[in-house]
Amino acid sequence: MAVKTYDPKDVQLIVGGIPIKSFGSDTMLTVTPNEDRGVWKEGITGEDGCYSVVRKLGGTLSVTVLAESTEDLLFDQLQTLRKPVPLLLRLPAQNKILVSEAWYQTQPDVVVGTEVDDRSHTLGIKNSSFSLLDSADSVLDQFEQLFG
């Protein structure tokens, strides 16, 4: 079994063409699908069954940043945009890439205390599936939008 190295600095997140480089003190991000990817349904006797592929790929991406950081202010501004922006998430240690459109969904709680707090901004994402094959056309579109 090969040993893999994880380095949080290798995580690449680009939202609306802007790289997110600074994250919170612990959890960086969480991707959560809205739906299961498939459903198994059995007949009443349990002898027959059918697997249904669920094509609803939407989900959420929660990004944790330090309060009052540049990234925190960026997400505060993103919520005023009110339209989807391109999103690219690359996780080299897991050999995964996610390309989607994202929109601002949920503002984090504002906590004031003795030190700077983490804030977790939640983005809705059109595609929460980490599959390069499902997103090949979107990858090309993403790079054309960013560098075209």
Looking at residue 72, what is its pLDDT? Answer: 93
Comparing 60-64, 124-128, 130-134, the range with the smallest average pLDDT is 130-134
Looking at residue 134, what is its pLDDT? Answer: 41
Evaluate if pTM is beyond 0.75: yes
Looking at residue 3, what is its pLDDT? Answer: 65
Distance CA 62, CA 126 (A): 14
Q: Is the pLDDT of residue 12 over 80?
A: yes
Confidence of residue 148 (pLDDT cuts 50, 70, 90): low
Confidence of residue 32 (pLDDT cuts 50, 70, 90): very high
The mean pLDDT value for 69-89 works out to 92
Q: Is the pLDDT of residue 7 over 80?
A: yes
Distance CA 54, CA 44 (A): 22
